[in-house]
Structure 1
Amino acid sequence: MNEQPFKIPFASPETLSEIFQSSAEGILMVDEAGIIRLANKASELMFGYQAGELPGKSLEILLPQRYRAGHVKYRESFRQAPAPRKMGVGRDLLAVRKDGTEFPVEVSLSHHRINNQFIVIAFIIDITERKKAEEAVKRSEEQLLLYAAELERKVRARTDALNKSVEDLERANRFLQEQIAERKKAEEEVKHALERERELNELKSKFVSIASHEFRTPLSTVLSSASLVMQYKEKGDLAKIDKHIQRIKSSVSHLTNILNDFLSLGKLEEGRIDIAKETIPLSELLHEVIEEMKPQLKEKQNLTLQIMGKEKPICTDPKVLRNILFNLISNASKYSEAGKPIAIHVTFWENHFDIAVIDQGIGIPKEDVKHLFERFFRASNAGQVQGTGLGLNIVKRYVELLNGEINFTSQEGKGSTFTIILPTT
């Protein structure tokens, strides 16, 4: 015996009525006079009415008293120029329950002509919980601002501590001026770093979190070494004094690099970088940069230069180009082990030239490549290598100011090559 296939009477009045009544959204059907003709169960529960109590009542009873007169005008305007609103795009409104309590709703409208009557169909969602969630998010944001202010306070406290360490260094220098001339230089570098730090009077929240972490180690080193210098001064132990002066200089150098990054970023953000081009011999500038960078390289790291093509004078901003090279060479050294070579390859073309900085360092993971030039981004394999995550972002923006471009290739564990392409004129 063959069974007849089961058919659902989708178009039947019973099915449509069941869909209408079982909808989780409140649905009202209102005629052009503003009288409710149909209301499903969800809308009756939402507004606190008994079953069958809403039909025949004016739509305006569902609005707070203060909005009713104005809503009549809006309803007539919609009738004159009906335009469906999709769910989720409707305006947030206030509605009122039968017991007089108000609550926020989202309403979307459509319209239809039934038996030659203009009928508006309203789909209503109670968004009370959504509003509570939005308020909770707003409170969280306010709390985060308070946390940021507290972090700024801590940074200022650290600055005061560093000022005290400078004063201690000044007192020590009065007793050791002839024996420790290098110490005076370290003191001046610390003062210079402090002056730059004070210029950052409006720190961004990201800066506060990074500075709180990055400043901790070098500041601790300066404070501890300054204290030990005072002790060794009394004993006349110049060898140990020199050792701690070198520690102070190294820490000050790291602090200076961090502050330079943030000052450069600030100037770029404010558009305060003026490009002053002049015609210079590129090879001469490169040799100067190499000589200046050598003391900052790790032990036995060798920096070489190779120029290909016929060299010609270039017209560029030497200060900006120098900053670009310092940053790229510093990164190559920082992310390479001691003894690993670093090469600079220059190629001259007809209207432009390329400078490639090549290292045999840790390389860049594939998943980090797309974020490499973003502010504050550091590769996942950077480990304990100190840095702000600003260097490459600053380099890219400097290169763009010189009407050039930067690209790179990298293989994790084998090294990276960063190439800048700049016009010769």
Structure 2
Amino acid sequence: MGNIPEGGLITNEAFREIFQSMSEGIIMVDTRGRIVVANPMAEQLFGYGTDALTGLMLEDLLPQRYRGGHVHFRSAFNSNPFPRRMGVGRDLTALRQDGSEFPVEISLSFTKVKGELLVMAFISDISLRKKTEDALKRSEEQLIVYAAELEKKVEMRTEALNHTILKLEDEVNERKKAEEEVRKSLEKERELNELKTKFVSIASHEFRTPLSTVLSSASLIDQYNDRGEPDKIHKHVQRIKSSVNQLTGILNDFLSLGKLEEGREDVVHEVIYPKEFLDEIEEEISGFLKEGQHLVLDCRMEASEIVCDARILRNILFNLITNASKYSDVNKPIYITCMNNGPFVNFEVRDEGIGIPLEDQKHMFDRFFRASNAGNVQGTGLGLNIVKRYIDLLKGTISFTSEYGKGTRFIVAIPISTNDQPK
């Protein structure tokens, strides 16, 4: 079977057959970085003959300028292995046997064979994609700026999220001072591991669709540009922007959750004028609604102002309105009402969407929970959990009623003056 030795690392015939026929290059290395097996596609990508990769160091496949740094990265992965993409936000370059370089995309995983850690690298030649991206950059200057800003935001938010998780882990370790603190620390650690697992699962699933959309649209834009079809180019630029908004929303959910977990969300007391505030939200969110959808605002406040945290209140309403839009058909209105309720002001968000099944309603504020009828609508299952925690910070309440297939009404009650509430 080529470079897969009989009775060696891969003994199952079906698995060996899959390994041999994969369209991605696959290389397995030991903890020293030495290649122990590679599939034919990997040999083809790097320009080596059958079994010629076996025994080489992984750094032999990298340009000389990257080899020193990569030894450090490899050591760090061996000490804390977990499945991930390699070089997020950076261009990765590999070296063929003939000395030429080519761009690659690499995903890392690991396994153990007879107690020894083996790292698996899944490698794809993305030269065609790079050519497509370069062509797109030359023809769409505005898209270049947008893509550059997106890349920077993704890097910053990914770094912030990693920092948040590491900081939470450090705090868990520091709380082990007494038996009760140990119990609480262990529980916190379990929750963090669950969060990481959920994040990897959701990120791999939720990122795949919009990223595939970006890639396919970018390829089609290049074709339509050659044919001189600006209408179709505009359509796919809009698809790319929509996919970017989906990715940004996912990252914002995880960053918000991290801040709430750390207790780093402070309430800022400021004067808000509800009617003007809702008008601003309507203007801001209009670009995120489906075709034909619009907000119907009805502000019945007796008082002209309230004292609250505008950023937190905006995030609460923005999340509820976005959900109403996602789970409603095109051309369906979304009703927003604000009115006095004693020392509180009620903000109601009502839609005519798919509703929430009765058996799911008790779980709607649970972390990572999604209703059984959510279907293919994208989401992390974090939005309402974050909304509930924001409302708790404001000393408010949230409730809802829903009828399956007919719509949902959320009611948020916020103190007219958060200054008057006990801390």
Q: Quickly name the TM-score band, shorter chain normalised.
A: 0.5 to 0.7
- Report how far residue 355 of structure 1 moved: 0.2
Question: Alignment partner for residue 302 of structure 1, among 286, 294, 307?
Answer: 294
Question: Alignment partner for residue 268 of structure 2, among 264, 273, 276?
Answer: 276
Counterpart position of 1:217? 209
Change (3 A) 1:217 1:315: same
CA separation in 1, counterparts of 2:324 and 2:137?
40
- Report how far residue 313 of structure 1 moved: 1.0
CA separation in 2, counterparts of 1:212 and 1:155?
14
Question: Alignment partner for residue 399 of structure 2, among 404, 407, 410?
Answer: 407
Question: Alignment partner for residue 258 of structure 2, among 260, 266, 270?
Answer: 266
Map residues 69-108 of structure 1 onto 2, 5 A cutoff. Answer: none
Map residues 335-346 of structure 1 onto 2, 5 A cutoff. Answer: 335-346=327-338
Q: Is contact 1:155-1:212 (8 Å) kept?
A: no
Question: Alignment partner for residue 379 of structure 1, among 371, 381, 399?
Answer: 371
Counterpart position of 2:246? 254
Q: Is contact 1:309-1:349 (8 Å) kept?
A: no
Change (3 A) 1:261 1:149: farther
Counterpart position of 1:175? 138
Counterpart position of 2:361? 369
**Unaligned ranges ≥5, structure 1:** 1-145
Change (3 A) 1:158 1:195: closer
Question: Alignment partner for residue 200 of structure 1, among 154, 161, 167?
Answer: 161
Q: Is contact 1:376-1:389 (8 Å) kept?
A: yes
Please say if 1:286 is aligned against 2:254. no
- Report how far residue 265 of structure 1 moved: 0.4
Q: Deviations over 1:319-354 (max 9, x none)?
A: 010000100000001011111111011112342100
CA separation in 2, counterparts of 1:366 and 1:266?
30
The answer to which of 319-328 and 184-193 deviates more is: 184-193
- Report how far residue 299 of structure 1 moved: 1.2
Instruction: Compare CA radii of gyration and give the structure with the larger one.
Output: 1
- Report how far residue 308 of structure 1 moved: 2.0
Instruction: Name the Cα RMSD after superposition.
Output: 2.8
CA separation in 1, counterparts of 2:301 and 2:229?
55
Change (3 A) 1:379 1:155: farther
CA separation in 2, counterparts of 1:174 and 1:363?
43
Q: Is contact 2:136-2:218 (8 Å) kept?
A: no
Please say if 1:395 is aligned against 2:387. yes
CA separation in 1, counterparts of 2:132 and 2:393?
41
CA separation in 2, counterparts of 1:159 and 1:379?
37
Question: Alignment partner for residue 324 of structure 2, among 329, 332, 335?
Answer: 332
Map residues 140-155 of structure 1 onto 2, 5 A cutoff. Answer: 150-151=82-83, 153-154=84-85
CA separation in 2, counterparts of 1:213 and 1:194?
19
Percent of aligned positions that are identical? 54
Matched letter for residue 340 of structure 1: K
CA separation in 2, counterparts of 1:338 and 1:329?
14
- Report how far residue 227 of structure 1 moved: 2.8
Matched letter for residue 376 of structure 2: Q
Please say if 1:320 is aligned against 2:320. no
Q: Deviations over 1:46-99 (max 9, x none)?
A: xxxxxxxxxxxxxxxxxxxxxxxxxxxxxxxxxxxxxxxxxxxxxxxxxxxxxx
Counterpart position of 1:60? none
- Report how far residue 422 of structure 1 moved: 0.6
Q: Is contact 2:89-2:151 (8 Å) kept?
A: no
Question: How many residue pairs end up in the alignment?
Answer: 275
- TM normalised by structure 2 equals 0.60
CA separation in 2, counterparts of 1:158 and 1:181?
20
CA separation in 1, counterparts of 2:335 and 2:412?
14
- Report how far residue 245 of structure 1 moved: 1.3
Change (3 A) 1:406 1:344: same
Please say if 1:244 is aligned against 2:205. no
- TM normalised by structure 1 equals 0.59
Matched letter for residue 175 of structure 1: R
Provide the secondary structure at the position in 1 that maps to 2:402. Answer: strand
Q: Is contact 2:328-2:354 (8 Å) kept?
A: yes
Q: Is contact 1:276-1:317 (8 Å) kept?
A: yes
CA separation in 2, counterparts of 1:363 and 1:297?
18
Provide the secondary structure at the position in 2 that maps to 1:224. Answer: helix
Question: Alignment partner for residue 150 of structure 2, among 189, 200, 206?
Answer: 189
CA separation in 2, counterparts of 1:168 and 1:184?
18
CA separation in 1, counterparts of 2:394 and 2:261?
16
Change (3 A) 1:366 1:172: same
